[in-house]
Chains A and B, each alone.
Chain A
Amino acid sequence: MISVTDARKTYGDFVALDGVSIDIPSGSLTALLGPSGSGKSTLLRSIAGLEGLDGGVVSIAGVDVTHQPPQKRGIGFVFQHYAAFKHMTVRDNVAFGLTIRKRPKAEVRKKVDDLLEIVGLDGFQHRYPSQLSGGQRQRMALARALAVDPQVLLLDEPFGALDAKVRADLRRWLRRLHDEVHVTTVLVTHDQEEALDVADRIAVLNQGRIEQVGDPVSLYEKPANDFVMSFLGSVARLGGQLVRPHDIVLERDRAAAFEADARTPGSPGVVTATVERVVRLGFEVRVELRADSGERFAAQVTRAEADRQQFGPGETVHARATRPADATEVDPALAI
């Protein structure tokens, strides 16, 4: 388990970590999610020992490592831009941690070959990093980090420099890898989709503080506040409240809308709006609307629903939310 208690770090006037505490269970894959400047990278780097803290305690597996250098923390670190040793072959890159520990050559060779097979770089042993694609380089970096059998694997925006297709492939691959290797993994990302896709726990950070920690479903379903809600998934503002676009129901019949809304306690009420545009996105249909108050929002309905009601631009509809997105209704255990 990784345990961070009241971590503080400032750079001049900028507060990167403002009293962050978090426990990361052994064997979990935790994502630190937040916008840039939220302190997520600083938190990761201070767990690694690459960044010193102004205050607070970091412990790994029960050992206080706050004042230990990264060399002694038993970590593996993967950087966004690969940090490959360019003058070494793929094999030498992966072997680096083992060769400096003076392990027997045969053992190093076997371990490196095994790891390269796991990351799908078998046969690339004698290439140089410059001869690999971005995704291949990052898998090499991952193999290099895993070679030293780290207690924790720390990944700093590992897929940030890759294009969308490779990114999606690699993160699912990482998920499968984690299911096999079970090393405690912490991943920093600003991409909510990535966090939801790969992590079994997510910590949302904002302005140097942790807003909420929990599993992906509870964070999505029961966000602790508006920030978490709007950062994790898309939102629409309906009658002054934030709701998920797929929780909005559009009715042509005003009376029906009000009747249904009356059965939903705490709902934002019925908002009468004009359809501006109907966008078909495969299975989903996004209906862009302008409320009578002038506020614009979008609802997400199924194709069947859109076909049934035949919305068209300029028509008047009545929007209601199927359930309240009440930010205060949260399991207290999830909020930090």
Chain B
Amino acid sequence: MTATTLPRGDSATEPDPPHDEPAGAPPTREGRRPAATAGRALGLGVVGLWLSVIVLLPLAALTVRSFDEGVGGFWDAVTAPVALAALGVTLGVSAVVALLNAVMGTLVAWVLVRDDFPGQRVVNALIDLPFALPTIVASIVLLSLYGPNSPVGIHLNATRWALVVALTFVTLPFVVRSVQPVLIELDREVEEAAASLGASNLTTFRRVVLPTLAPAVISGTGLAFARAVGEYGSVVLIGGNIPRETQVVSQYIQQQIEIDRPANAAAVSVALLAVSFLTLFVLRVWAGRNQRKEARSS
């Protein structure tokens, strides 16, 4: 057997991996030319200013406002039973919607990429419609379809199912659009290799395809979840706005504004913000770790 054994670490005689694959660590900042420094400083400045004005400032203002009545006031506002119930409904329904999206969105992306059927391009274009549509329109559509005068005999008005349906509708594109490009790039030969090694289609999907898709599925699901948590327009008509039943946080906030309790509204908003931020942050860290695992430098 020794006759065929090549010397170890013979990378000297072999080329570097092709550059289309992640190879080793990214170039270090110190390695850049000094001429680029000024440009980079300018770029950083512009981005910093822009993010401050658009994102940080309003969020800071909101946070300050939420503590108008002190820490105790903040705590009371957030832990008021109706507020907690609204938070619970929102998070629960959003979690269900996110999971639905993870499964169905992946399936839709799969069919759109892998199958050939008439009208495929139209269907592909339709995916983005919930994005483009004003969400209130979605609510009207759902109300006329599943409302009290439902032509199909399904009455979801003012139930949690209505929330699920409405939120699933508006969050449809997230998983589909994040999984699609990854599926297109996915090397079919990898699946063929698994098949040639004896793996059934299910095993191939579970052990080869899914791990490749997972980061995209998770990031799409996270975005869908964050969007569902903050959604207002699509649930406003069909949701029913019943406190402790179907009232979502955004509706609760709206209600607090209407009864002139802006500090309460701000406090609950901050709680909502924290949840959204935490979701996105956890996903980012998770995705980053996964990427490093794949491209760990030698």
Interface string of A193-212 (1 = CB under 8 A from B): 00000000000000000000
Chain B residues with CB under 8 Å of A131's CB are 17, 23-24, 296-298
A118 contacts chain B at the CB level, 8 A cutoff? yes
Asked whether, in the complex, the Cβ of A134 is within 8 Å of the Cβ of B192, the reply is no
Q: Which residue in chain A gives the minimum CB-CB distance to B187?
A: A83
Asked whether, in the complex, the Cβ of A85 is within 8 Å of the Cβ of B294, the reply is no
Asked whether, in the complex, the Cβ of B15 is within 8 Å of the Cβ of A87, the reply is no
Asked whether, in the complex, the Cβ of A83 is within 8 Å of the Cβ of B190, the reply is yes
Asked whether, in the complex, the Cβ of B203 is within 8 Å of the Cβ of A130, the reply is no
Q: Which residue in chain A gives the minimum CB-CB distance to B188?
A: A83
Asked whether, in the complex, the Cβ of A145 is within 8 Å of the Cβ of B198, the reply is no
Asked whether, in the complex, the Cβ of B6 is within 8 Å of the Cβ of A120, the reply is yes
Q: How far, in angstroms, from A145 to B11 measured CA to CA in the complex?
A: 22
* Choice from A76, A123, A161 contacting B8 with Cβ under 8 Å: A123
Chain A residues with CB under 8 Å of B208's CB are 85
A310 contacts chain B at the CB level, 8 A cutoff? no
Q: Which residue in chain A gives the minimum CB-CB distance to B193?
A: A83
Interface string of B3-29 (1 = CB under 8 A from A): 111111111011111100111100000
Of the four ranges (under 10, 10 to 19, 20 to 34, 35 or more), the interface on chain A belongs to 35 or more
Stretch at the interface among A96-104, A183-191, A249-257: A96-104
Dominant secondary structure of chain B at its interface with chain A: loop
B194 contacts chain A at the CB level, 8 A cutoff? yes
- Write the nearest CB–CB distance from A43 to chain B, whole angstroms: 16
Q: How far, in angstroms, from A120 to B13 measured CA to CA in the complex?
A: 14
Asked whether, in the complex, the Cβ of A83 is within 8 Å of the Cβ of B192, the reply is yes
Q: How far, in angstroms, from A101 to B199 measured CA to CA in the complex?
A: 9
Of the four ranges (under 10, 10 to 19, 20 to 34, 35 or more), the interface on chain B belongs to 35 or more
Q: How far, in angstroms, from A76 to B9 measured CA to CA in the complex?
A: 25
Q: How far, in angstroms, from A48 to B7 measured CA to CA in the complex?
A: 32
Asked whether, in the complex, the Cβ of B4 is within 8 Å of the Cβ of A176, the reply is yes
B295 contacts chain A at the CB level, 8 A cutoff? yes
Asked whether, in the complex, the Cβ of B6 is within 8 Å of the Cβ of A50, the reply is no
Asked whether, in the complex, the Cβ of A85 is within 8 Å of the Cβ of B295, the reply is no
- Write the nearest CB–CB distance from A120 to chain B, whole angstroms: 3
* Choice from A79, A100, A119, A127 contacting B298 with Cβ under 8 Å: A127
Asked whether, in the complex, the Cβ of B4 is within 8 Å of the Cβ of A173, the reply is yes
Interface string of A85-128 (1 = CB under 8 A from B): 11100000000110011000000000000000111101100011
A336 contacts chain B at the CB level, 8 A cutoff? no
Which positions 178-224 of chain B face chain A at CB distance < 8 Å?
187, 189-190, 192-200, 203, 207-208, 211-212
- Write the nearest CB–CB distance from A101 to chain B, whole angstroms: 7
A320 contacts chain B at the CB level, 8 A cutoff? no
B36 contacts chain A at the CB level, 8 A cutoff? no
Interface contact tally, CB-CB below 8 A: 130
- Write the nearest CB–CB distance from A144 to chain B, whole angstroms: 7
Asked whether, in the complex, the Cβ of B5 is within 8 Å of the Cβ of A79, the reply is no
Asked whether, in the complex, the Cβ of B295 is within 8 Å of the Cβ of A130, the reply is yes
Q: How far, in angstroms, from A233 to B151 measured CA to CA in the complex?
A: 76
Asked whether, in the complex, the Cβ of A136 is within 8 Å of the Cβ of B196, the reply is no
Chain B residues with CB under 8 Å of A63's CB are none
* Choice from B4, B7, B196, B293 contacting A70 with Cβ under 8 Å: B196
Which positions 267-298 of chain B face chain A at CB distance < 8 Å?
293-298
Asked whether, in the complex, the Cβ of A69 is within 8 Å of the Cβ of B7, the reply is no
Chain B residues with CB under 8 Å of A87's CB are 211-212, 293-294
- Write the nearest CB–CB distance from B186 to chain A, whole angstroms: 10
Asked whether, in the complex, the Cβ of A71 is within 8 Å of the Cβ of B195, the reply is yes
* Choice from A48, A86, A133, A148 contacting B198 with Cβ under 8 Å: A148
Asked whether, in the complex, the Cβ of B5 is within 8 Å of the Cβ of A97, the reply is no
Stretch at the interface among A163-171, A274-282, A285-293: A163-171
B122 contacts chain A at the CB level, 8 A cutoff? no
Chain B residues with CB under 8 Å of A127's CB are 298
B152 contacts chain A at the CB level, 8 A cutoff? no
* Choice from B196, B198, B212 contacting A50 with Cβ under 8 Å: B196
Asked whether, in the complex, the Cβ of B17 is within 8 Å of the Cβ of A120, the reply is no
Chain B residues with CB under 8 Å of A86's CB are 212, 294
Q: How far, in angstroms, from A83 to B17 measured CA to CA in the complex?
A: 14
Asked whether, in the complex, the Cβ of A75 is within 8 Å of the Cβ of B189, the reply is no
Interface string of B233-246 (1 = CB under 8 A from A): 00000000000000
Residue from A48, A100, A136, A165 with most neighbouring chain B CB atoms (10 Å)? A100
Closest 6 CB pairs of A and B: A120-B6, A97-B197, A77-B196, A133-B14, A83-B193, A83-B189
Query: Could you list some 28 contacts between A and B, CB below 8 A?
Result: A69-B195, A71-B200, A75-B196, A79-B189, A81-B187, A81-B189, A83-B187, A83-B192, A83-B193, A84-B190, A85-B193, A86-B294, A96-B207, A97-B197, A100-B198, A117-B1, A120-B7, A120-B8, A122-B8, A123-B8, A130-B17, A131-B23, A133-B11, A133-B17, A145-B196, A173-B4, A176-B4, A180-B1
Q: Measuring CB to CB, which residues of chain A are less than 8 angstroms from any residue of chain B?
A: 48, 50, 69-71, 75-77, 79, 81, 83-87, 96-97, 100-101, 117-120, 122-123, 127-128, 130-137, 139, 141, 144-145, 147-148, 161-163, 165-166, 169, 173, 176-177, 180
